[in-house]
Structure 1
Amino acid sequence: MSNAETRPVETRCGAADGDGSAPRPPVEVLTPRDVPLGGPRAMTVRRTLPQRSRTMIGAWCFADHYGPDDVSRTGGMDVAPHPHTGLQTVSWLFSGEIEHRDSLGSHAYVRPGELNLMTGGHGISHSEVSTARTTVLHGVQLWVALPAEHRDTARDFQHHVPAPVAVGGAEIRVFLGALAGTVSPVRTFTPLLGAEIVLAPGASPTLPVDPRFEHGLLVDRGTVRLGGTGLRPAELAYVHPGRDTLDLVNGSDGPARLVLLGGTPFEEEIVMWWNFVGRSHADIVRARQEWEEASDRFGAVEGYPGARLPAPALPHATLTPRRNPPRA
Structure 2
Amino acid sequence: MKFLDHARIEVRSGGGGAGCVSFRREKFVEFGGPDGGDGGKGGDVIAEAVEGLNTLIDYRYRQHFFAKNGQPGAGRQRTGRSAPDVVLKVPVGTEILEEDGETLVADLTRPGQRVTLAEGGNGGWGNLRFKSATNQAPRRANPGQPGVERTLWLRLKLIADAGLVGLPNAGKSTFLAAVSNARPKIADYPFTTLHPGLGVVGIDGAEFVLADIPGLIEGASEGRGLGDAFLGHLERCAVLLHLVDGTSETFEDDWRVIVRELEAYGAGLAQKPRVLALNKIDALDAGEVAARCARLTAVARMPVHALSGAAGQGVTEVLRALRAAIDAARAPQAADAPWQP
TM over 0.5: no
Greater share of strand: 1
> Greater RCO between the two (CA within 8 Å, min separation 6)?
1
Greater share of helix: 2
TM-score where L is the length of structure 1: 0.26
**Higher CA-based Rg:** 2
TM-score where L is the length of structure 2: 0.25
